């Protein structure tokens, strides 16, 4: 229905415009230069499965003082974002269409409400259009409502116009490289600077009261965002505190609007000494013990049991001296905050950050014993929502739950035995999640008993069918109001907390808070499932699933004892909806271990662990630890800083199964052996297609890489990735330095991308990847890994990274054509190993060969005529 008007206006037999289709859910925007009867720019934002569209006659302006008319037109299909070309005469919108800019957009608040209200604020992340913008409706009546497109004042504002990015000779968009150069050379918006060195005009003049304001909120994530578009701060272990200053009146608020002013007089005095007329400040209150933030010390300080000094770690300032700074980029807000705090030592401290290099910052935080880090988009506005601009990555996993009851203490223990916990369901209500009985002090046990006694109820409204009979019989139910934060190791087989321990009672949070927090967390989990598995898992038919579960334990236990490795919970389903259990995974790896070890054995490994199965939190690990098993050895790897680390490695089937016992699903080896870590003995080209690329084109691309390598005398081998692409692997007898291997791979990728620009790209993150295949040559750096042959993948259907003959390529159905079952069947029926002789190929990189005075060798005579067919 949304595209009815679009389709009514067009005859798709006469116009090349798409009738529908396109991948949804990526938050794309596109601007197209349209040479129709009247030249104009089409501005389109993805929402609710279509492209919301406006015609902007003069094009977007980067000058905040210029307001451009934008006439709303009919919704377009998502596939229109990639449309370029001529619309023939006689058709609606006849004329030429060019893509002027594209990227992603992020709404500031609800899109539905913004469109209805007539004020839609958003951030653009394109090659040309960037930063904060707003569409304001000026006329609602008629078939084509009129809006104004306005640029907000931020780091991307300036005196440029859309036409500055168009070639005046051809009236077509400049090449992408030149468009980027024009943007880089753009003059910033003029600002006035007051006597204290602050930009007085950068910000919107408005008045505030001294009440609480809506804080910017974090989404929980498992991985650190990469790139220089993010800054990273320490995750402080304290209470979020918001401060408002209006004249001499200073007030402090919790994140949910409870006033803390009287409880923290020293912070009030420090904030008053700043000497500002008005301000809104955001930070974390911590207590210091031994120079470190300590949550237990903070609780003791607030209860007057300790005298630990307080510190207010400030990280944002959305308002200052009569001007809202919310629309300014975060980096600019933080710079102003730092300048303000420099002259005011004491309990007010600036929360420093690092731009880019997120994984290293996170690793340093973990080593320093911090709770984790908070990563924030460097150019983000302060909008008071949980829109993904701020994310938190915890070093030790903890979550917040509501207490629904407690059990009686046993033995010498006083107060309570354990707290019974629940968490919000995605569609409403609460679900029992487990019990926590450790991590309490004696004082906490007594206090909790006293506090909970007054909230008793006759029975709980929560489904407690997963609770043990003993706990149900001994439970005292309470009103679900008290919130606690609990450390844990994920969820066990019944969906209950594993190894829980109390972190703290969250006096600053209510049930409503964790209900709100749970909504984005659920979406984040779904996103991780999609990332890990290609798409969200679907359940199979109930009967087949039950039958698979009934058969699994017997097979699993047999596999677990094959090499003397005891497997815990072999019946646990690892791939949701498939019936594939942990025991099945062990049985698979026991059978393929000799083949797997030929590729991953005696090499440093990075392994993917999924303790609660695919679709839940999975994480990579490369260092050894306790309890891995006596056949999992450590390889000393020298780091750049001069120290060394202990990486995982296995040499036999027992070691493989010991890793499976630790819930390892994927094996990713180095391109070098542990005996010679400074030289690569293989080069890998990972062909990573955009979703818009047909599978037949991926196969042709692999053949192209094969032929290009053969032309310079290099034999290559083929492997499915188990995902969406293919790997072309070149074995080396004369090991190359990492610099040589990486340089060679980059040269091959760049050459193919320049010779076949419609097929390949060689730059990671390139915006123009649509309908193209990225040749990932970055796998050939020291420390980089690629999935090993015969490794399972943590994706829907339990696919396998499968070595195949080049002659099989034409018949290959997909990159995930082989799974945990069909892979074993193929291995059983094939007559020879498709990578037979891989380690016996005597070849070196051309640059090394030339240095040795050798001529390129011809490939060994294993290629049949069938090998040359696609």
Q: Is the pLDDT of residue 213 over 50?
A: yes
Q: Please provide the average confidence, as pLDDT, over all residues in the chain.
A: 81
96 pLDDT band (50/70/90 cuts)?
very high
Structural domain ending residue among the three candidates 326, 361, 394: 394
Which of helix, strand or coil describes residue 556? Answer: helix
Tell me the pLDDT tens digit for each residue of 611-648. Answer: 778 877 677 788 876 667 888 998 888 876 566 678 89
pLDDT, greater one: 377 or 528: 377
> What pLDDT was estimated at residue 681?
92
- Based on the fold, state whether residues 836 and 687 are members of the same structural domain: yes
Last residue of a domain, one of 619, 654, 689: 654
DSSP letter for 780, please: G
Tokens 């040749």 locate to: 775
Do 649 and 623 reside in the same domain of the chain? yes
Structure confidence at residue 854 as a pLDDT band (50, 70, 90): very low
Residue 536's CB: how many other CB atoms inside 10 A? Answer: 12
Beta bridge partners, 349, equal 313
> What's residue 518's pLDDT?
61
Kindly state the tokens that stand for 483.
């919130």
Identify which has the larger pLDDT, 87 or 533: 87
668: in domain: no
CB atoms closer than 10 angstroms to residue 708:
18
Helix 738-755 vs helix 695-711: crossing angle, to nearest 10: 120
What is the rounded average pLDDT of the residues 327-345? 87
pLDDT-derived band at 787 (thresholds 50, 70, 90) equals very high
Q: How many residues does the chain have?
A: 870
Together in a domain, 549 and 524: no
193 within a domain of the structure (yes/no): no
pLDDT per residue as tens digits for the range 48-59: 889 999 999 999
Average pLDDT for residues 127-150, to the nearest whole number? 86
Co-location of 370 and 387 in the same domain: yes
Output the domain CATH number for residue 448: 2.40.50.140
- Selection from 592, 403, 535, 589 nearest residue 481 by Cα: 403
**Least reliable range by pLDDT among 188-197, 284-293, 404-413:** 188-197
pLDDT for res 613: 82
Q: What is the mean pLDDT of residues 540-544?
A: 34
Mean pLDDT lowest for which of 4-8, 219-223, 524-528? 524-528
Active centre residues (catalytic): 235
Angle formed at CA 695 by CA 692 and CA 698, multiple of 5 degrees: 95
**How far is it, in rounded angstroms, from Cα 504 to Cα 295?**
8
Check residue 294 and give its pLDDT.
Answer: 78
Q: Same domain, yes or no, for 503 and 430?
A: yes
Q: Tell me what pLDDT residue 479 has.
A: 85
Decide if 199 is inside a domain. no
HSE-CB at 534 with a 13 A cutoff on CA atoms is 18
User: Does 90 have pLDDT greater than 90?
Assistant: no
Q: What is the mean pLDDT of residues 284-298?
A: 81
Both structure tokens of 614:
């695919």
- Which domain range does residue 754 map to? 679-781+802-851
pTM: 0.41
pLDDT recorded at residue 225? 86
Taking a C-beta distance cutoff of 8 angstroms, is the pair 699, 789 a contact? no
Residue 604, domain member (yes or no): yes
291/420: higher pLDDT: 420
* Stretch 374-397: mean pLDDT: 84
As a whole number of angstroms, the distance between CA 263 and CA 179 comes to: 55
Same domain? For 382 and 417 the reply is: no
Q: 242 is written with which tokens? A: 């918001």
CA dist 447 and 88 (Å) reads: 78
The top-scoring range by mean pLDDT among 113-127, 195-209, 422-436, 505-519 is 113-127
Say what the pLDDT of residue 857 is: 43
Asked if residue 189 is part of any domain, the answer here is: no
User: If we measure between CA atoms, which residue out of 279, 440, 251, 413 comes closest to residue 344?
Assistant: 279
Mean pLDDT confidence for 815-827: 91
Average of per-residue pLDDT across 113-136: 89
Q: Based on the domain organization, do 506 and 557 belong to the same domain?
A: no
d(CA 674, CA 857): 28
DSSP letters along 95-118, please?
A: EEEEEEEEEEEEESS-HHHHHHHT
pLDDT of residue 348: 92
Q: Domain check: are 382 and 528 in the same one?
A: no
pLDDT given at position 604: 93
Based on the fold, state whether residues 360 and 496 are members of the same structural domain: no
Q: Do residue 510 and residue 553 come from a single domain? A: no
Last residue of one domain, picked from the residues 614, 637, 654: 654
Residue 852 has pLDDT above 70, yes or no: no
CATH number of the domain encompassing residue 370? 3.30.470.30
Looking at the structure, tell me whether residues 49 and 156 fall in a common domain. Answer: yes
Arithmetic mean of pLDDT, 639-664: 83
Q: Is residue 154's pLDDT more than 50? A: yes
Reference 274, options 232, 228, 321; nearest CA is: 321
371 in any annotated domain: yes
Summarize the confidence of residues 596-604 as an average pLDDT: 93
Rg (CA), the chain: 30
Q: Could you read off the pLDDT of 249-289 as tens digits, one per residue?
A: 999 998 878 889 988 899 999 999 998 999 999 999 988 87
The per-residue pLDDT for range 473-515, each reduced to its tens digit, is 888 988 888 899 888 867 765 778 877 888 888 877 777 777 7
Q: What is the dihedral of CA 135, 141, 142, 143, to 10 degrees?
A: 50
Q: What is the mean pLDDT of residues 166-174?
A: 83
* Residues 6 or more apart in contact with residue 301 via CB below 8 angstroms: 287, 307, 308, 310
CA 670-676-678 angle, to 5 degrees, is 75
Helix (H/G/I), strand (E/B), else coil: 706? helix
675-704 mean pLDDT: 92
Residue 724 has pLDDT above 70, yes or no: yes
Range with the largest mean pLDDT of 277-286, 343-352, 529-538: 277-286
Pairwise CA distance, residues 522 & 451, whole Å: 31
Residue 197 included in any domain: no
What is the rounded CA–CA span in Å between residue 856 and residue 795?
41
Number of domains in the chain: 5
* 560-596: burial string, b at 16+ Cβ within 10 Å, e else: bebbebebeebbbbbbbbbbbbbbbbbbbbbbbbebb
User: Who's near 480: CB < 8 A, 6+ residues apart?
Assistant: 402, 403, 404, 422, 430, 462, 511
Q: Which residue has the higher pLDDT, 593 or 386?
A: 593
Q: Is the pLDDT of residue 198 over 60?
A: no
Query: Could you read off the pLDDT of 773-785 as tens digits, one per residue?
Result: 999 988 898 888 9
Cα–Cα dist 707/701, whole Å: 10
Query: Within a domain: residue 862?
Result: no
The CA distance from 354 to 234, in Å, is 10
Which of 288-292, 331-335, 528-532 bottoms out in mean pLDDT, i.e. has the lowest?
A: 528-532
Angle between helices 822-829 and 582-600 in degrees, nearest 10? 50
**DSSP H or E stretch at residue 328:** none
CA distances from 236 to 229, 313, 387, 756 (A): 22, 8, 21, 50
State whether 725 and 837 are in the same domain.
yes
What proportion of the chain, given as a percentage, has pLDDT over 70? Answer: 85
**Alpha-carbon gap, residue 157 to 130, rounded angstroms:** 9
Report the pLDDT averaged over residues 460-481. Answer: 83
**Nearest Cα to 548, choosing from 532, 528, 565, 571?**
571
Higher per-residue pLDDT: 684 or 510: 684
Q: What is the pLDDT of residue 93?
A: 92
**CATH code of 569's domain:** 3.90.920.10
The alpha helices in 80-215, defined as continuous H runs, are: 111-117, 176-184
């Amino acid at each position: 229905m949304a595209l009815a008007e679009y389709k009514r206006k067009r005859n798709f037999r006469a116009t090349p415009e798409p009738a529908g289709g396109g991948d949804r859910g990526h938050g794309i925007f596109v601007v197209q230069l349209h040479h129709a009867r009247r030249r104009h720019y089409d501005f389109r934002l993805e929402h609710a499965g279509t492209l919301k569209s406006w015609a902007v006659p003069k094009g977007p302006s980067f000058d905040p003082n210029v307001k451009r008319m934008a006439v709303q037109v009919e919704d377009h299909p998502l596939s229109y974002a990639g449309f370029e070309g001529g619309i023939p005469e006689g058709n609606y919108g006849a004329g030429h269409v060019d893509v002027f800019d594209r990227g992603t957009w992020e709404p500031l608040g609800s899109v539905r409400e913004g469109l209805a209200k007539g004020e839609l604020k958003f951030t653009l992340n394109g090659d040309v259009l960037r930063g904060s913008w707003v569409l304001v409706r000026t006329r609602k009546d008629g078939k084509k409502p009129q809006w104004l497109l306005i640029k907000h004042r931020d780091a991307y504002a300036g005196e440029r116009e859309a036409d500055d990015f168009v070639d005046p000779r051809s009236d077509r968009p400049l090449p992408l490289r030149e468009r980027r150069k024009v943007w880089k050379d753009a003059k910033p918006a003029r600002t006035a600077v007051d006597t204290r060195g602050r930009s007085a005009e950068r910000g919107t003049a408005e008045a505030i009261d001294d009440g609480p304001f809506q804080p910017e909120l974090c989404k929980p994530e498992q991985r650190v965002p990469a790139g220089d578009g993010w800054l990273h701060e320490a995750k402080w272990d304290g209470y979020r505190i918001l401060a408002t200053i209006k004249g001499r009146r200073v007030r402090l608020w919790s994140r949910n609007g409870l006033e803390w002013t009287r409880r923290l007089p020293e912070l009030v005095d420090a904030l008053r000494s700043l000497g500002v007329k008005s301000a809104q400040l955001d930070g974390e209150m911590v207590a210091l013990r031994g120079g470190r933030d300590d949550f237990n010390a903070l609780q003791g300080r607030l209860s007057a049991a300790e005298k630990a000094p307080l510190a207010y770690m400030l990280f944002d300032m959305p308002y200052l001296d009569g001007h809202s700074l919310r629309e300014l980029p975060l980096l600019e807000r933080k710079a102003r905050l730092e300048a303000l705090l420099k002259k005011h030592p004491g309990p007010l401290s600036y929360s420093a950050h690092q731009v880019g290099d997120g994984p290293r910052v996170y690793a340093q935080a973990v080593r320093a014993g911090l709770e984790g880090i908070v990563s924030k988009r460097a150019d983000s506005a302060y909008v008071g929502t949980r829109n993904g601009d701020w994310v938190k990555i915890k070093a030790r996993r903890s979550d917040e739950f509501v207490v629904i009851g407690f059990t009686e203490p046993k033995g010498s223990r006083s107060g309570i035995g354990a707290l019974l916990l629940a968490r919000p369901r995605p569609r409403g209500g609460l679900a029992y999640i487990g019990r926590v009985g450790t991590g309490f002090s004696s004082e906490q046990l007594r206090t909790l008993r006293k506090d909970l006694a007054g909230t008793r109820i006759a029975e709980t409204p929560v489904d407690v069918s997963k609770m043990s009979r003993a706990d149900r019989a001994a439970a005292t139910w309470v009103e679900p109001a008290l919130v606690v934060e609990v450390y844990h190791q994920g969820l066990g087989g019944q969906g209950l907390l594993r190894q829980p321990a109390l972190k703290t009672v969250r006096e600053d949070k209510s049930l409503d808070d964790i209900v709100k927090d749970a909504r984005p967390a659920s979406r984040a989990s779904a996103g991780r499932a999609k990332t890990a598995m290609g798409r969200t898992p679907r359940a199979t038919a109930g009967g087949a699933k039950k039958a698979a579960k009934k058969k699994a334990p017997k097979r699993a236990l047999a596999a677990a004892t094959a090499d003397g490795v005891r497997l815990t919970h072999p019946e646990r389903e690892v791939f949701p909806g498939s019936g594939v259990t942990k025991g099945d995974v062990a049985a698979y790896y026991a059978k393929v271990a000799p083949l797997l070890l030929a590729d991953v054995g005696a090499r440093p490994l990075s392994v993917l662990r999924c303790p609660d199965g695919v679709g839940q939190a999975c994480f990579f690990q490369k260092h050894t630890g306790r309890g891995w098993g006596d056949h999992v050895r450590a390889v000393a790897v020298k780091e750049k800083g001069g120290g060394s680390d202990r990486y995982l490695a296995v040499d036999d089937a027992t070691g493989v199964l010991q890793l499976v016992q630790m819930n390892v699903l994927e094996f990713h080896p180095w391109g070098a052996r542990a005996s010679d870590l400074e030289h690569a003995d293989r080069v890998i080209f990972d062909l990573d297609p955009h979703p818009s690329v047909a599978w037949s084109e991926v196969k042709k691309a692999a053949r192209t890489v094969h032929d290009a390598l053969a032309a310079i005398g290099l034999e290559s081998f083929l492997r499915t990735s188990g995902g969406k692409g293919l790997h072309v692997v070149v074995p080396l007898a004369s090991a190359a330095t990492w610099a040589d291997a990486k340089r060679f791979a980059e040269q091959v990728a760049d050459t193919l991308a320049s010779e076949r620009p419609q097929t390949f790209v060689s730059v990671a993150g390139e915006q123009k990847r649509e309908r193209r295949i990225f040749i990932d040559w970055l796998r050939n750096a020291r420390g980089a890994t690629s999935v090993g042959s015969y490794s399972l993948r943590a994706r829907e259907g339990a696919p396998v990274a499968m070595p195949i003959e080049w002659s099989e390529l034409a018949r290959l159905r997909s990159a995930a054509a082989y799974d945990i079952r069909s892979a074993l069947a193929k291995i059983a029926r094939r007559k020879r190993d498709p990578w037979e002789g891989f380690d016996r190929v005597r070849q070196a990189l051309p640059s090394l060969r030339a240095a040795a005075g050798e001529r390129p060798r011809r490939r060994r005579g294993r290629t049949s005529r069938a090998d040359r067919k696609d």
